[in-house]
């Protein structure tokens, strides 16, 4: 009996030992997985596409004393602001206005340190922010500059040392370390970013911060500003959410950087790229100070016929007679065929596919035939946006959507010629049409979207 009990005890002890050994052997791995594993929502619905010829963040809160707006310039449309004209229309009266502007942007060849906030307060926006940053990096010409990436949460960490953008986008954002989200070491992240810029003393550097709030004391700002100015490194802030201007706005201003609060609906990679390249903060005072809800339409007219638009309503009650009088007015004197009046979706049904399927060719032939009809091609522009489903890494999907968009552009360009202005963008897995919850939904999200617009006439 004793021998039997001894054997049972030995077996139990052995099993317990093996169990403890198993737990102990995987303990470190489990901890690492906990540190690196981040849960992202599967749903990310389309909410915003940037209109490149409209003002963003137009602020009329100080009407009638001042109106201000931010204007990123797409790379092909570099603007001569000194010879631009600002026109404002209200109730048929048109005024040409004086305006002040501040030019912003980072000169070509500047090395960049990207600082990404991964703290808990960013919440579900984190994956979206990864997409914005990786999409931003896909837009750089080869070997133009070097980029380094810092992430901060409970601590700040260099997750990607200096490298070329085309090398970085081969990595998935998820493959790089995410510091624990239980804190917000923004100050240390910026100090670390300045350390990196100091490693490149012989070439210009700039810091791009993506965050959702000011986590720096007023006392800490002076040291950051002093170091940034000594290193000749601007600190540029892209603020997620609706936070009002604070310490980070002051830091950006005093280091010669950009402070851009999130526009309605969110950022896009191309908007960030354009803002960083060439952008303007513009302020003016309206001459017509009528209140009671009057609609003010603003047009910035630059040389070579380039126009940017915006509008706002003065405070007060909106006159009912004005509500419907001009809302649907079309200024152009040509009409698009029915096919081109709405967005055309070109399917790329198979995962990873960047070649035109037969169904896509048929759709593009219909589009090109409509454009080659009785239309003045010089009066239209074609916007082409590439997308993917959520299968694969963020970096793979961003590059895949770029290839899809360029494939469609090349096909249409061959069919309709060079008279038409093409505007090509890519967004990876951003802005899905549905939740990516099954193959049927994912297949719909693998697409390129074509939008044909009339180029506006000379009217305001």
* 258 vs 75, higher pLDDT: 258
Helices H / strands E in the chain, number of each: 11, 18
90 assigned to some structural domain: yes
pLDDT of residue 87: 95
The Cα–Cα gap between 62 and 230 comes to 36
pLDDT over threshold 90, residue 43 = no
pLDDT digits (tens, 9 = 90+) for 298-326: 999 998 878 899 999 988 877 665 544 44
Q: Which structural domain range is residue 97 located in?
A: 56-105+282-323
Is the pLDDT assigned to residue 455 strictly greater than 90? Answer: no
CATH number of the domain residue 407 falls in:
3.30.1330.60
> Do residues 69 and 128 both lie within one domain?
no
pLDDT at residue 266 is higher than 60: yes
Peptide bond into 64 cis (omega under 30): yes
The tally of domains found in the chain comes to 3
For 403-421, the pLDDT digits (tens) are 999 999 999 999 998 888 8
The verdict on residue 239 lying in a domain is yes
Q: Are residues 392 and 378 in the same domain?
A: yes
CB 134 within 8 A of CB 228: no
Judge whether 191 lies within some domain. Answer: yes
**Which residue, 387, 23, 394, 322, is CA-closest to 173?**
394
3-state secondary structure of 384: strand
Q: Are residues 153 and 195 both part of a single domain?
A: yes
Mean pLDDT: which of 148-152, 292-296, 350-354 is highest?
148-152
SS3 content of the chain, % helix, strand, coil (to 5): 35, 25, 40
> Of 315, 319, 323, which is closest to residue 64 (Cα–Cα)?
315
Please report which confidence band the pLDDT of residue 327 belongs to, taking 50, 70 and 90 as the band edges: very low
Give me the pLDDT at residue 328, please: 46
What mean pLDDT is predicted for residues 129-135? 93
Averaged confidence pLDDT in the chain: 83
Question: Does residue 39 lie within any of the structural domains?
Answer: no
Last residue of a domain, one of 268, 293, 323: 323
Percent of the chain with pLDDT over 70: 84
* pLDDT value for 48: 61
Instruction: Band the pLDDT of 243: cuts 50, 70, 90.
Output: low
pLDDT (tens digit per residue) in 167-213: 999 898 989 999 999 888 999 999 999 999 999 988 999 999 999 98
Residues 119, 224: one domain? yes
Check whether residue 302 and residue 273 sit in a common domain. no
Q: Are residues 148 and 76 in the same domain?
A: no
- Answer whether residue 27 is part of any domain: no
Q: CATH number of the domain that 286 lies in?
A: 2.60.40
Q: At what angle do helices 186-198 and 218-230 cross, to 10 degrees?
A: 10
Residues 230 and 266 both lie in one domain? yes
| Rounded Cα–Cα distance for residues 239 and 183 (Å) | 18
Domain shared by 254 and 297, yes or no = no
**Closest by Cα among 145, 102, 88, 49 to 383:** 49
The answer to whether residue 73 sits within a structural domain is: yes
């Amino acid at each position: 009996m004793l021998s039997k009990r001894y054997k049972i005890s030995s077996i139990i002890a052995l099993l317990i030992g093996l169990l403890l050994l198993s737990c102990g052997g995987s303990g470190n791995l489990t901890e690492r997985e906990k540190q690196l594993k981040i849960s992202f929502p599967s749903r990310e619905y389309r909410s915003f596409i940037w209109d490149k010829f409209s003002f963003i963040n137009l602020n009329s809160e100080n009407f009638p004393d001042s109106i201000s707006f931010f204007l990123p310039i797409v790379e092909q449309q570099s603007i001569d602001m000194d010879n631009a004209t600002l026109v404002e229309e209200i109730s048929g009266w048109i005024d040409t206005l004086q305006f002040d502007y501040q030019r912003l942007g980072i000169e070509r060849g500047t090395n960049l340190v990207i600082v990404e906030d991964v703290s808990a307060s960013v919440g579900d926006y984190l994956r979206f922010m990864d997409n914005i940053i990786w999409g931003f990096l896909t837009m750089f010409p080869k070997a133009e500059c070097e980029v380094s990436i810092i992430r901060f949460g409970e601590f700040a960490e260099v997750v990607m040392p200096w490298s070329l953008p085309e090398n970085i986008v081969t990595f998935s954002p998820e493959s790089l370390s995410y510091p624990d989200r239980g804190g917000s070491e923004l100050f240390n992240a910026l100090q670390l970013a300045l350390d990196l810029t100091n490693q490149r003393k012989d070439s210009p550097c700039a810091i791009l911060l993506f965050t959702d709030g000011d986590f720096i004391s007023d006392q800490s700002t002076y040291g950051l500003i002093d170091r940034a100015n000594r290193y000749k490194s601007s600190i540029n802030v892209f603020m997620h959410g609706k936070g009002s201007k604070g310490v980070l706005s002051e830091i950006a201003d005093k280091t010669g950087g950009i402070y851009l609060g999130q526009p309605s609906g969110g950022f896009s990679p191309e908007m960030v790229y354009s803002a960083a390249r060439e952008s303007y903060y513009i302020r003016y005072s309206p001459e017509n100070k009528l209140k009671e809800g009057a609609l003010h339409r603003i047009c910035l007219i630059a040389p070579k016929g380039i126009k940017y638009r915006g509008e706002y309503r003065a405070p007060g009650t909106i006159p009912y007679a004005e509500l419907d009088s001009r809302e649907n007015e079309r200024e152009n004197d040509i009409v698009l065929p029915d096919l081109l009046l709405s967005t055309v979706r070109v399917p790329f049904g198979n995962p990873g596919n960047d070649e035109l399927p037969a169904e896509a060719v048929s759709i593009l032939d219909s589009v090109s035939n409509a454009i080659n009809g009785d239309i003045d091609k010089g009066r239209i522009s074609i916007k082409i946006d590439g997308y993917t489903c959520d299968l694969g890494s963020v970096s793979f999907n961003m590059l895949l959507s770029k290839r899809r968009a360029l494939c469609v552009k090349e096909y249409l360009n061959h069919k309709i010629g060079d008279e038409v202005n093409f505007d090509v963008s890519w967004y990876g897995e951003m802005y899905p049409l549905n939740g990516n919850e099954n193959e049927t939904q994912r297949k719909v999200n693998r697409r390129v979207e074509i939008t044909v617009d009339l180029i506006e006439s000379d009217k305001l």
